[in-house]
Amino acid sequence: MAERNLEQLEKIREVVSQDLLSGRIELLLGWEKGHYWWQSRPLFARSKDDLAKLTWDSFCAVNLSRYLLEELKDHQKVGVLVKGCDSRAFNRLLQDNMVERDRVVLYGLPCPGILDYKLLAAEAGPELKGIAEENGKIVLKTASGEVEVKRDQFLMAKCRECLYPDPVVYDQMLLEPQGKKEAPERFKAVDELETLTPEERFAYWEKELSRCLRCYACRQACPYCSCRECFVEQENPRWQGRAYQPSENFLFHLVRAYHGAGRCIDCGECQRACPVDIPLQELNRKLIKDINELYGDYEAGLDAELEPPLLTYRPDDPAAFSEK
Amino acid sequence: MKKMITTDNLTELWARLAEESTLYLPVQDGPMVLFQPWQEGVQVDLEAFNSAVSPKDIFLPREETYLNYRCSGQALELDAVEDDRAITAFGIHPCDLKAIEMLDRVFIEQDPPDNLYQKRRENTTVVALSCTNPDPFCFCGVFDVNPLDAPGADVMAHLVDGSLHLEARTEKGKALLEKAGDLLEDSTVDIAKREVKTADFGLNVKGLPEDLKSRFEDPVWDELYKSCLSCGVCTYVCPTCYCFDVEDYGHEAKGERFRCWDSCMFGHFTQMAGGHNPRPSRKERVRQRFMHKLQYYHEAYGEIACVGCGRCLRSCPVNLDIVQAIKALGGEKVEQR
């Protein structure tokens, strides 16, 4: 079992069930437990009975904001539980005019970072029965006893360099905020890739992308990929071929990454969704780093009023491609 | 004949097999294990559970060209592509082999059969590997798969105490062991004594296919799809999904026609010329996938098209997997339908 913070959960449930019963919201997007203690999956709650299944634990990885794209078609008013990254995803959708702010109630949940079962199991072995958490420590429970480890080492890759664990946009903050975090190694992998020659970099990405199944999970999980029709599916002209050739894999991932330039909120859902663990966040972070260097620091999704650098024009914008 | 080979000698065995055939086995590729052709220096992991993507692509590649064309004026030349390679599929777990046998019915036991698939299958020697330490996602027992035995194998292999125990079951299998020759010793280990446990999630699928026949409009479908992201993960990692698309690569004068995997989870899968789409939303697509697994395939071939390999449980980004579907549809031991 994964220990849930019952006190926190009760507080969350109390607020959202009141709003659901009073009609302030018609639907709540939250999480419920999956088959395993290390999986929490999306919950679509419309009643008090539904809310009995609600959970809030260290495995609520799925970004719920993206479901607004569909659920606002069927509901006038939708409530969403948002972690820091989910709230920035909401701002992303807002900036893209994909959601209406006044039809959504955001409940803020400061996030301690999502745990990665693969890392836990690698540490404890397959006999891992569950965990308990306390003050930044995790107790791994196995058949042969309990081991205490530091929580930080078992975060999902997407959470390890998180700057904003607190929601940046919300109607109601449900738990105590924890403040901005440091992410000193956010661009470490990018820096390392930049030291390679172009040929070496090409070989690196050719190998990583060779596993790509083109299942498009990265795109479907992504809050910046909200286009009603993606270039991948366009028939005329046909940009994206179906072949599993390196050139086609590069085309998809690079066009997607460039489309996210200045818009990617660095939530890492793409990489989490990838069934073959392609380090997609490295691609996105390269673009984030370049944008920051060219146009000044910009964090996508932090403030919906701040236009993304590539959607604005200033006469003094650098023109790196035309400068010799 | 029952033989064994110490793990130290396996590399030599693989080198020999790879001389005469394309040898696929579970290989560490970056952070995961995938079935890939053997080459010197690859890291083979026979204890891995389960390869991230099923080994179906040995027989149904992600992409394959089957026709080359050349046009000049009114003249059209067509060249069918043949695949005559000898193949060895090494380390296939019982669930995955059962899934391949399910694909056989779709591609071979038809008139006419799919000759590319058929040829590849005929040219392949399968060395199946029983399961030592299944991971928590494995639930093959629900579908009567025995993790310790794969009836369709040419050679049945068991990894016990640092040695691989091999039993040839067919002529092809005997030929393979003969090639291994001097690397083999006689095996005396009693395989029957082993025991392996897999999850069952309290599932009971008996009667479910028949029951689903009349449940196309069941309200379950109105809820189940909600979390689906419309990506293709489940279909692409699944060992029993086999849909493909056909496309040309090239231009008017010259090019190739190929087929490649496609997924019923994609919106454009059923998009027709003129714009009509009979499966316009995620609801119809999710229903299609699970009905195909649990009902349509069963109706056509007498079995549920799931072998409990657990890949969708592991890889679905939102945990909308077949166990959730079966439970939602009432396929549980405790519940009464």
pLDDT tens figures, A110-133: 999 999 999 999 999 878 999 998
Q: What is the average per-residue pLDDT within A19-40? A: 96
Separation of alpha carbons B27 and B42, rounded Å: 7
Q: What is the average per-residue pLDDT within A1-20? A: 86
**Band of pLDDT at residue A3, cut at 50, 70 and 90:** low
Q: Is residue A289 part of a domain?
A: yes
Chain B residue numbers with beta carbons less than 8 Å from the beta carbon of A217 are: 229, 231-233, 317
Identify whether residues B48 and B116 lie together within a single domain. Answer: yes
Could you say which of B193, B223, B252 is where a domain stops? B193
pLDDT tens across B70-125, in order?
999 999 999 999 999 999 999 999 999 999 999 999 999 999 999 999 999 999 99
Could you say which of B193, B219, B252 is where a domain stops? B193
Q: Is residue B249 part of a domain?
A: yes
Identify whether residues A26 and A166 lie together within a single domain. Answer: yes
Contact state of B245 with A275 under an 8 Å Cβ cutoff: no
Contact state of B231 with A273 under an 8 Å Cβ cutoff: yes
Q: What is the average per-residue pLDDT within B56-73? A: 95
- B163-168 vs B185-186, strand pairing mode: unpaired
Token pair in block for residue B73:
């004026």
Identify whether residues B166 and B219 lie together within a single domain. Answer: no
Identify whether residues B178 and B245 lie together within a single domain. Answer: no
Which residue range(s) make up the domain with B121?
Answer: 2-193
Identify whether residues A87 and A28 lie together within a single domain. Answer: yes
Identify whether residues B156 and B235 lie together within a single domain. Answer: no
Could you say which of B154, B169, B193 is where a domain stops? B193
Query: 3-state secondary structure string, A195-223?
Result: CCCHHHHHHHHHHHHHCCCCCCHHHHHCC
Query: What is the pLDDT of chain A when averaged over all its residues?
Result: 93
Identify whether residues B131 and B20 lie together within a single domain. Answer: yes
Q: Is A216 on the interface with B (CB under 8 A)?
A: yes
Identify whether residues A127 and A253 lie together within a single domain. Answer: no
Identify whether residues A204 and A132 lie together within a single domain. Answer: no
Q: Give me the residues paired with residue B64 across strands.
A: B259
| DSSP string for residues in A50-88 | HHTTEE-STT--S--GGGHHHHHHH-S-EEEEE-HHHHH
Q: Is A215 on the interface with B (CB under 8 A)?
A: yes
Identify whether residues B178 and B119 lie together within a single domain. Answer: yes
Q: What is the average per-residue pLDDT within A257-273? A: 95
Half-sphere exposure of B45 (CA within 13 A, CB side): 16
Q: What angle do CA A127, A130, A132 make, to 5 degrees?
A: 140
pLDDT of residue B49: 84
Q: Give me the residues paired with residue A27 across strands.
A: A78
Are the CB atoms for B242 and B256 separated by under 8 Å? no
Q: Is residue A181 part of a domain?
A: no
Token pair in block for residue B148:
């310790």
pLDDT of residue B333: 82
Chain B residue numbers with beta carbons less than 8 Å from the beta carbon of A66 are: 229
Q: Is A220 on the interface with B (CB under 8 A)?
A: yes
Q: Is A147 on the interface with B (CB under 8 A)?
A: no
Q: Is residue A1 part of a domain?
A: no
Identify whether residues A72 and A165 lie together within a single domain. Answer: yes
pLDDT of residue A314: 87
Identify whether residues B165 and B229 lie together within a single domain. Answer: no
Identify whether residues B147 and B237 lie together within a single domain. Answer: no
pLDDT tens across A238-249, in order?
899 888 888 999
Number of domains in chain A: 3
Chain B residue numbers with beta carbons less than 8 Å from the beta carbon of A243 are: 63, 247, 249, 258, 260
Chain A residue numbers with beta carbons less than 8 Å from the beta carbon of B268 are: 233
Identify whether residues A282 and A203 lie together within a single domain. Answer: yes
Quote the minimal CA–CA distance from B172 to chain A in Å. Answer: 31
Query: What is the pLDDT of chain B when averaged over all its residues?
Result: 94
A3 secondary structure, DSSP code: P
Q: Is residue B236 part of a domain?
A: yes
If one compares B1 and A229, the residue with the highest pLDDT of the two is: A229
Please list, residue by residue across A246-258, b when 16 or more beta carbons sit within 10 angstroms of its beta carbon and e when fewer do.
Answer: eebbebbbeebbe
Q: Is residue B293 part of a domain?
A: yes
Q: Is residue A319 part of a domain?
A: no
| Mutate: best of B139, B229, B268, B283, partner A, most A CBs <10 A | B229
Helix (H, G, I), strand (E, B) or coil at B77: strand
Q: What is the average per-residue pLDDT within B302-321? A: 97
- CA distances, A13 to each of A6, A54, A85, B134, B256 (Å): 10, 7, 21, 37, 58
Q: Is A169 on the interface with B (CB under 8 A)?
A: no
Other CB atoms closer than 10 Å to residue A234's CB: what's the count? 12
| Mutate: best of A69, A208, A242, A249, partner B, most B CBs <10 A | A242
pLDDT of residue A323: 64
Are the CB atoms for A21 and A34 separated by under 8 Å? no
Above 50 in pLDDT, residue A164? Answer: yes
Identify whether residues A250 and A279 lie together within a single domain. Answer: yes
Q: Is A217 on the interface with B (CB under 8 A)?
A: yes
Alpha helices (runs of H) in chain B, residue ranges in sequence order: 10-20, 94-107, 115-122, 171-180, 208-212, 220-224, 233-237, 282-291, 297-301, 311-315, 322-328
Separation of alpha carbons B183 and B166, rounded Å: 12
Query: Which residue on chain B is closest to A219 by alpha carbon?
Result: B231
Identify whether residues A165 and A145 lie together within a single domain. Answer: no
Q: What angle do CA B52, B53, B57 make, to 5 degrees?
A: 155
pLDDT tens across B128-169, in order?
999 988 889 999 999 999 999 999 999 999 999 889 999 999
The distance from CA A275 to its chain's CA centroid, rounded to whole angstroms, is: 15
Quote the minimal CA–CA distance from A38 to chain B in Å. Answer: 11
Separation of alpha carbons B204 and B183, rounded Å: 45
Identify whether residues B129 and B218 lie together within a single domain. Answer: no
Identify whether residues B32 and B110 lie together within a single domain. Answer: yes
Identify whether residues A240 and A287 lie together within a single domain. Answer: yes
Identify whether residues B25 and B65 lie together within a single domain. Answer: yes
| Backbone torsions φ then ψ of B302, nearest 5 degrees | 80, 10
Which residue range(s) make up the domain with A61?
Answer: 6-116+155-173
Above 60 in pLDDT, residue B335? Answer: no
Identify whether residues B138 and B259 lie together within a single domain. Answer: no
**Band of pLDDT at residue A4, cut at 50, 70 and 90:** low
Separation of alpha carbons B100 and B121, rounded Å: 9
pLDDT of residue B336: 47
Are the CB atoms for B78 and B68 separated by under 8 Å? yes
Identify whether residues A74 and A106 lie together within a single domain. Answer: yes
Q: Is residue A322 part of a domain?
A: no
pLDDT of residue B337: 45
Pick from B32-41, B57-66, B189-198: least confident: B189-198
Q: Is residue A317 part of a domain?
A: no
ipTM, two decimals: 0.94
Identify whether residues A136 and A146 lie together within a single domain. Answer: yes
Identify whether residues A87 and A230 lie together within a single domain. Answer: no
Q: Is residue B203 part of a domain?
A: no
